[in-house]
Structure 1
């Protein structure tokens, strides 16, 4: 009997990887410690509304986008209802202090025109910024046929330059620099932390085409579950892998779960946090430099999330998102809950029972000494619940003041804190996106020293639907050959 290929972690990367490997003829066993697959992406229902917790909108879902091609290859493309966001303003950035708003239109040309209309004195820098962003996006593996797996010349050159430094070089206007950096909220990095290439490879696909799933993340997970079943993938829930076994010759041998269950395998893809991965693998099996590199990875911030409803009518979140920001942010890392930026998105499914749902997210640091770290460590549950209620009220008051279109009937149905992310999202430090892609810290690669043991997921590529899809494609390319993966996915243009 052939040994299966094991996939550890049932988030999106794990689901995509399992399905792709099964398409290439592998027997696959998928291990997930939660009682359901992809719990973060599924979301939840409350007050008659369906709320997405981990998937709100994405690039790469246009007709020829890499995610759309992969979905068609996996057999779910025709069944997934996708909607383009507002081409005139998929993201609306509102400066609360001044009341000014800028709408990001879809398309590089349209965005360039809109930016130059608002900032005519920055016309030359805007052209260069968008040229670089689009050029870097075009070099991402699998985005276009024949792309190098290592990335291209632009990506390599701007991986060594910070976003903040490039924005300073290109623009004089602080407002424009803040505007173009606001999307760091979606990948968990500030302009001084991330490279220009990493920023471009995230935001560029939103600039090109911004879409959302009409039926939310749960519909995607259910379709993936259907295909896993059809493909014969052995899905085992409630299996918490604690140890990876390595043969004397340095090959992957199998895994052991916390309940004592052992499974042998011909190979393994681990799709969890890099720090948790290190805890699984024998210390002697990995190079010291690799371990040090992973241990030193900084963590992204956490957040406060609020899920609520407002009275039915014309919604400011119909096919658009709103980002609230301050002209003069606090800049104080020790601030309790500064609300310097807030991201607002509409709930899937539109109006229900005379109410419309929304989600609000505001970053909250969890580094040592921060209020987020204090919240994470609170042992007194009564104090924690009281603190959460106070934060929720602060957030509601701020949103009602900043988005008067909601009216006064704003209701809160649920909240999430760093403790929530640690408990439900398997995020060991309660962060939003796990390990940060900090330009001064080399991230993990897909391949490890252990033959046939791979590390994949957002910690290797980037967060979101796009990052998880590309990570799965890259990982499977390492296993079966990138030319094969690329040619088969590209056939679904």
Structure 2
């Protein structure tokens, strides 16, 4: 294992770059800088790197909390390119989702269900069979999705994610059936903004690859994080785990000079890359560092939803969870962040847990999305857990009789591990009308990366990190090498 450094208060270390936050974006930045010969420190408040993507293990089961599945297009596979770039792609075993149903969608309290198959032609055919009066619109809409997938990628940072037309505008342009519009909005849970505030281009870039090929890794997010940990060690990145940053030091000429930890360790550097939620950065720098307007904009960024989650094991597998997920949409609306969402009415996402051994194969993870501004429902944790179990029983009739054990997590749990105060799953929204922070700040040597800066999800976080690292190393150098991995 790479060392977890604990120094006395007079210790001073010197680095080419200090990366703050060892989530996926921070790890990616650190690896890229180290790959090009820089001496790098990676600082993480938690005792392990990537605590959200790593997930956790209980009673012989591993549960993914931050990575469940990914999507890729035949000629556009940004995650695969990034893994090849770090020479770890061949060490991850791909587990494809079911070709006939990668996501099973239900409308709560109605008999309506729909199985999304893999491949845009298959989706066109199945949607046409269910909505024959919308056949022409289905064909044109999914052709638009496919064109975006072929032309754009989240790795291309020049693409604006906050421009019209919105997803809602495009859906209403093509369709008149509100049930079809709701169904095609279901995958907005992959990024956490509503159809009327989401750029169609952004939606297509995120969702289109899942339509073509959905997959996960054997071992889930933990398998990926373990390989990234090995790579950090190979490239001799110093890891300061269980270490909290108190101050990013900036001199009178407005240049970064050091990062000071809570234990008074000083990491001397001229380059600090902050990979956490932008709002927390404001507390780490001197008050005069940014213009008031910038600070106000960052402080007022709209958040993606948080979630209540239930993790557990049943005696027999739950319906549809072998190689598929289940998405349950509320009967009266499809919004993922509606202000009146509750545990019993919010959008619901259920996926399988992963057995750590072959004696316990029937784990599940259930998430109900919740507005980040509404941190806690009334009631004790036990009462909230019971409400979630009731929702599961309503969705899966066999659940109640088969349940062996279950544990729950709240938005406060996600906030504790992500260090984003509202527990937002994807950080700040990328939505029409909101300008998210740029990787470059007005302070030379202070850069940003992460979901709130680049794009949401695993691929978005890594893509943001690539762009930020390229600003330090040289964009031509990085992108020419990365393009060879596509």
Q: State yes or no: 1:419 paired with 2:431.
A: no
Q: Are positions 1:221 and 2:225 aligned together?
A: yes
Q: How does 1:175-324 map to 2 (within 5 A)?
A: 175-312=179-316, 316-324=320-328
RMSD (CA atoms): 2.5
| 1:393 aligned onto 2:386 | yes
Corresponding residue number in structure 2 for 1:360: 366
Relative distance call for 1:92 and 1:351 in structure 2 (3 A) is: farther
Cα distance in structure 1, aligned partners of 2:14 and 2:348: 51
Is 1:490 matched with 2:486?
A: no
Moved more, 11-20 or 418-427: 418-427
Residue in structure 1 matched with residue 431 of structure 2 by the alignment: 438
**Equivalent residue number for residue 110 of structure 1:** 122
The C-alpha deviation readout for 1:384-433, integer Å capped at 9, x for no partner, is 6xx22222222222222222355721244211001211222212122222
Deviations 1:109-152 (A, max 9, x none): 22222222222222232233223323333444576xxxx6412x
Taking the aligned partners of 2:466 and 2:153, their CA distance within structure 1 comes to 9
Question: Structure 1 CA distance, aligned partners of 2:244 and 2:468?
Answer: 22
**Which stretch shifts more, 405-414 or 358-367?**
405-414
- Give the gaps of 5 or more residues in structure 1: 376-383
Does the residue aligned with 2:185 lie in a helix, a strand or coil?
A: helix
1:333 aligns with 2:345: no
Match of 2:443 among 446, 450, 453: 450
The gaps in structure 2 that reach 5 residues or longer are 1-12
1:340 deviates by 3.3
Aligned mate of 1:136, from 140, 143, 148? 148
Who is 1:381 aligned against?
A: none
The match for 1:42 is: 54
Is the CA contact 1:322–1:344 (under 8 Å) kept in the aligned structure 2? yes
Q: Provide the residue aligned with 2:7 in structure 1.
A: none
Once the two structures are superposed, residues 1-33 of structure 1 have per-residue CA deviations (whole angstroms, 9 ceiling, x without a partner) of: 974211100111111111111112211111111
- Bigger mean CA offset, 91-100 vs 120-129: 120-129
Indicate yes or no: 2:349 matched with 1:343: yes
CA distance in 2, matches of 1:233, 1:334: 45
Match of 1:463 in 2: 456
* Compared CA separation, residues 350 and 112, structure 1 to 2 (3 A): farther
Of 109-118 and 78-87, the range deviating more from structure 2: 109-118
User: Is the 2:346–2:370 contact (alpha carbons within 8 Å) kept by the matching residues of 1?
Assistant: no
Question: CA shift at 1:469, angstroms?
Answer: 1.6
Q: Distance in 2 between matches of 1:350 and 1:226?
A: 21
Q: Which residue of 1 aligns with 2:158?
A: 150
CA contact (8 A) 2:258 2:269 kept: yes
Deviation of the 1:306 alpha carbon: 0.2
Pick closer, same or farther for the CA change 1:222–1:21 going to 2, 3 Å.
same
Distance 2:474 2:267 in 1: 26
Alpha-carbon distance between aligned partners in 2 of 1:404 and 1:214, rounded to the nearest angstrom = 29
Of 73, 97, 100, the residue aligned with 1:85 is 97
Alignment: residue pair count:
472
Moved more, 328-337 or 12-21: 328-337
State whether residues 163 and 195 of structure 1, in contact with CA within 8 Å, keep that contact through their aligned partners in structure 2.
yes
CA gap of 1:347–1:337, structure 2 versus 1, over 3 A, is closer
* Aligned residues of 1:142 and 1:486 also touching (Cα < 8 A): no
3-state SS, counterpart of residue 95 of structure 2: strand
TM value normalised by structure 2: 0.90
1:126 aligns to 2:138 (yes or no): yes
CA shift in 2, pair 1:482/1:191, >3 Å: same
1:438–1:266 distance in 2 versus 1, CA, 3 Å: same
Question: Retained in 2: the 8 A contact 1:312–1:354?
Answer: no
Question: How far is 1:457 from its partner?
Answer: 0.4
Distance 1:412 1:175, change over 3 A: farther
Counterpart CA distance in 2 for 1:309 and 1:452 is 48
Change in CA separation of 1:347 and 1:466 when aligned onto 2, cut-off 3 Å: same
Contact 1:245–1:253 under 8 Å retained in 2:
yes
Give, in whole Å, the separation in 1 of the partners of 2:324 and 2:188: 18
Deviates further, 409-418 or 230-239? 409-418
TM-score by length of 1: 0.89
Q: Is the 8 A contact 2:344 2:391 kept in 1?
A: no
- For residues 243 and 354 of structure 1, the distance between their equivalents in structure 2, rounded to whole angstroms, comes to 46
Q: Distance in 1 between matches of 2:173 and 2:317?
A: 44
- Is this contact kept in 2: 1:61–1:210, CA < 8 A? no
